[in-house]
């Protein structure tokens, strides 16, 4: 099955900017941005980020406030702080052998950097890869990582897979099956996430009096380290 998958990938694989580099920093940036954010939204932000901060050292030298401002619009802003903290750690001490020691880096992200930057023989398993593995009941090696991701993202879709276009269909025990709709994330409009985003956007423009902001949103942002409160004034972290 792996040979058929790799043949399909050579013709149908996505041309993504982070696939054109082996720089572990650039790949770490892409993987953190891709957490809970669609590829199409990430591409321009990834390119802009690397144009501004092309190295770990450049990012580590930046202030957390400017990192948060640059991240605006990608959502889940704690990722920006974790990426900055990881850069500071790497700039000071080098890349750890176990990448999960870096702030905000879990097993999947560590394996992705290890595979795509350091050529280690590990298979990063994200939600798309897991879906293909579960449905095909097949085993694949690390060389198939990008191909599995693309198959899951474009063909082996969550609810209605496109089995007629799948290179694994002839041997797949799940061929032709449809699946129940996945549980969708709650609407952003009117949610507490939106309230947090509004408060953070206001503070990103300039420091604000705490009394003028959503108190619960400010408390949550402060708990995450995304804002600081001093003498009743809310600002981005120094």
Known catalytic residue at 57: no
* Predicted confidence (pLDDT) per residue in 180-192, tens digit: 776 666 777 888 9
- Mean confidence (pLDDT) of the chain: 94
* Predicted confidence (pLDDT) per residue in 128-172, tens digit: 999 999 999 999 999 999 999 999 999 999 999 999 999 999 999
Give the phi and the psi of residue 20 in degrees, each rounded to 5: -100, 15
Q: At what angle do helices 192-205 and 215-223 cross, to 10 degrees?
A: 80
Looking at residues 19-25, what average pLDDT do you find? Answer: 97
What pLDDT score was predicted for residue 181?
A: 73
Q: Where do the domains of the chain lie?
A: 1-12+121-184, 23-116, 192-235
What pLDDT score was predicted for residue 182?
A: 65
What pLDDT score was predicted for residue 183?
A: 67
Of 2, 3, 31, 165, which is the active-site residue? 31
In the predicted model, is pLDDT for residue 42 greater than 80? yes
Q: Which helix (H) or strand (E) holds 208?
A: strand 208-209
Q: Which CATH number fits domain 23-116: 2.70.50.60, 1.10.10.60, 2.30.30.40, 1.10.340.30?
A: 1.10.340.30
Contact criterion met (CB below 8 Å) for 232 and 211: yes
What pLDDT score was predicted for residue 60?
A: 98
What pLDDT score was predicted for residue 38?
A: 93
Report the predicted TM-score, pTM, of the whole model to 2 decimal places.
0.89
Residue 179 banded pLDDT, cuts 50, 70, 90 = confident
Give the phi and the psi of residue 38 in degrees, each rounded to 5: -70, 150
Residue 25 banded pLDDT, cuts 50, 70, 90 = very high
CA dist., res. 6 & res. 136, Å (int): 15
**The tokens 């990448």 sit on which residue?**
99
| Architecture of the domain spanning 1-12+121-184 | Orthogonal Bundle (1.10)
CA dist., res. 1 & res. 88, Å (int): 42
In the predicted model, is pLDDT for residue 103 greater than 70? yes
What pLDDT score was predicted for residue 184?
A: 66
Q: At what angle do helices 24-34 and 39-52 cross, to 10 degrees?
A: 140
């Amino acid at each position: 099955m792996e040979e058929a998958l790799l043949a399909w990938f050579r013709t149908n694989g996505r041309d993504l900017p982070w696939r054109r580099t082996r720089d572990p920093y650039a790949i770490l940036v892409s993987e953190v941005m891709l957490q809970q954010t669609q590829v199409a939204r990430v591409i321009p932000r990834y390119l802009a980020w690397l144009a501004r901060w092309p190295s770990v050292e450049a990012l580590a030298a930046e202030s957390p406030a400017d990192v948060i401002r640059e991240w605006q619009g990608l959502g889940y802003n704690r990722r920006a702080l974790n990426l900055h903290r990881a850069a500071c750690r790497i700039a000071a001490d080098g890349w750890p052998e176990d990448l999960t020691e870096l702030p905000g880096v879990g097993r999947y992200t560590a394996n992705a950097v290890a595979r795509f930057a350091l050529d280690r023989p590990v298979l990063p398993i994200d939600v798309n890869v897991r879906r293909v593995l579960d449905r095909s009941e097949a085993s694949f090696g690390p060389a198939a990582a990008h191909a599995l991701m693309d198959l899951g993202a474009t063909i082996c879709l969550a609810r209605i897979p496109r089995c007629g276009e799948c290179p694994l269909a002839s041997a797949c025990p799940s061929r032709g099956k449809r699946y129940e709709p996945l549980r969708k994330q709650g609407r952003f409009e009117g949610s507490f996430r939106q309230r947090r985003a509004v408060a953070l956007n206001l503070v990103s423009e300039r420091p604000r009096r705490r009394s003028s902001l959503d108190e619960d949103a400010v408390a949550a942002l402060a708990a995450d380290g995304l804002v600081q409160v001093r003498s009743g004034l809310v600002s981005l972290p120094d």
